[in-house]
Amino acid sequence: MMGEFDTRLLPATARPDDPAVTQAAKLLRQGELVAIPTETVYGLAANALDPDAVAKIFKAKGRPQDNPLIVHISSLEELPPLVTEIPDRARKLAEAFWPGPLTMVLPRSSRVPDVVTAGLETVAIRMPSHSVARAVIQVSGLPIAAPSANLSGKPSPTSARHCMEDLTGKIPLVLDGGPCQVGVESTVVTLTGDIPRLLRPGAVTAEQLREVLGLIEVDPAVLEKAEDGPVASPGMKYMHYSPKASVVMITGPWSACKDFLARQQDEGVWALVFDEDLGDCPLPAIGLGPRNDAAKQAQHLFSALRELDEQQARLVYARAPFEEGMGLAVYNRLIRAAGFSVIDLMG
């Protein structure tokens, strides 16, 4: 046995009497951790109201203590006890996008432990749509704190196998609900200021938020490296999603990228390109997804980064995705995997 636990992997359905769901709910009530599927990425779940249980999340992931967690609920009645105020905008967003891949930052109530919010006066809340996640929340009867179920710094897990790779021995149970449909973490929007602000792009796009809210601001950290000092979303300042290889983003037309890549051929140098360009890529390459389908790119991104590790890539040149719609989320994750290093081949 490796580590403290003999980690079990159980297939799960959404039936409330599914033994895997019952077992997960029981462990959560006992203050233990369980990795669960959500529509975005797998989450590492704990009872959000139990500070000792939540502390185990930080330990299992090796997560910095100043990076706050998202609290997951399964119905709107679970929201009021967690916050001091539900602004009109939050009601509108909930109506439009919950259950689904949207997280709202709201003023927190005193029931939410400090360890969840990293001492902030706000709490991030999400109502997932994945039927297994919803069943686990309902059967446990608890609000569930859950970051992505990866080791801190690694790509987020989009399958139960990814969770097992990272957390075997560290937690008692992983529920397998199949591959994640969205593939990147939820959109995070804060509603605590005068103007709603997008902190992390996801499957609910900036354009969709504007349709419901009118004006929104996009936090500079979405596209650029956050400066030292306080940031709106602490998670944005950490090195993220990185495979072991160094990643460098390349921008420009495919002809220029191809010429560039042809000059980089060396042991362990790989490319991450659109599917259409795999056939004439001069380097060994993995497909990110079709050029004009950001949703597919999002689905593949994290498993592609993990696959590059399995291939023992040393250096990866990744073609920049387009920044519109869901492409903004793909770009945001990839530029972090690249540590913000970009080579511009626009000519």
The residues that touch Mg ion, with contacts defined as CB under 5 A, are 147-148
Residue 146, binding choice from Mg ion, ligand TXA, none, Cβ under 5 to 8 Å by partner class: ligand TXA
Beginning with the edge strand found earlier in the chain, give each strand of the sheet holding 8-11 in spatial order. 8-11, 173-176, 34-36, 43-47, 144-145, 70-72, 122-126, 102-107, 187-190, 197-200, 217-218
**Which of 14, 55, 96, 120 is the binder for ligand TXA (CB under 6 A)?**
120
Residue 132 binds to ligand TXA (criterion: CB under 6 A): no
Minimum CB separation from Mg ion for residue 251, in Å? 25
69 versus 247: smaller Cβ distance to ligand TXA: 69
End-to-end CA gap in the chain: 55
Choose one: 86-94, 141-149, 218-226, 279-287; the region binding ligand TXA (CB under 6 A): 141-149
The two tokens of residue 96 are 């439009």
The reply to whether 93 sits near ligand TXA by the rule CB under 6 A is no
Residues in region 219-258 near ligand TXA by CB under 6 A:
233-236
Q: According to the binding rule CB under 6 A, does residue 28 interact with ligand TXA?
A: no
Secondary structure letter of residue 80 according to DSSP: G
Closest approach, Cβ 280 to ligand TXA, in A, equals 35
Near ligand TXA in 251-310, by CB under 6 A? none
Residue nearest to Mg ion (CB): 148
Q: By CB neighbour count within 10 A (0-12 exposed, 13-18 middle, 19+ buried), where does 344 fall?
A: exposed
Which are the contacts of 268, defined by CB distance < 8 A and separation ≥ 6?
245, 312, 313, 314, 315
**Interaction of residue 68 with ligand TXA, rule CB under 6 A:** yes
123 in contact with ligand TXA (CB under 6 A): yes
Q: Across-strand partners of 122?
A: 107
Least distance to Mg ion from the beta carbon of 333, Å? 10
Residue 47 or 148 having the CB closest to Mg ion: 148
- Contact flag: residue 180 with ligand TXA (CB under 6 A): no
Alpha-carbon gap, residue 188 to 190, rounded angstroms: 7
How many residues bind to ligand TXA according to rule CB under 6 A?
A: 30
CA 344 to chain centre: 27
For the CB of residue 52, give the shortest distance to Mg ion in the complex, in Å. Answer: 21
- Quick one: CA torsion of 91, 118, 335, 182, rounded to 10 degrees? -40
CA 318-162-286 angle, 5° bins: 25
Pairwise CA distance, residues 223 & 331, whole Å: 8
Whole-angstrom Cα distance, residue 27 to residue 109?
Answer: 25
Candidate ranges 38-46, 78-86, 171-179, 319-327; the one touching ligand TXA (CB under 6 A): 38-46
133/345 with CB nearer ligand TXA: 133
Footprint of ligand TXA (CB under 6 A): 38, 40-41, 43, 67-70, 103, 105, 117, 120, 122-124, 126, 128, 146-148, 185-186, 188, 190, 199-200, 233-236
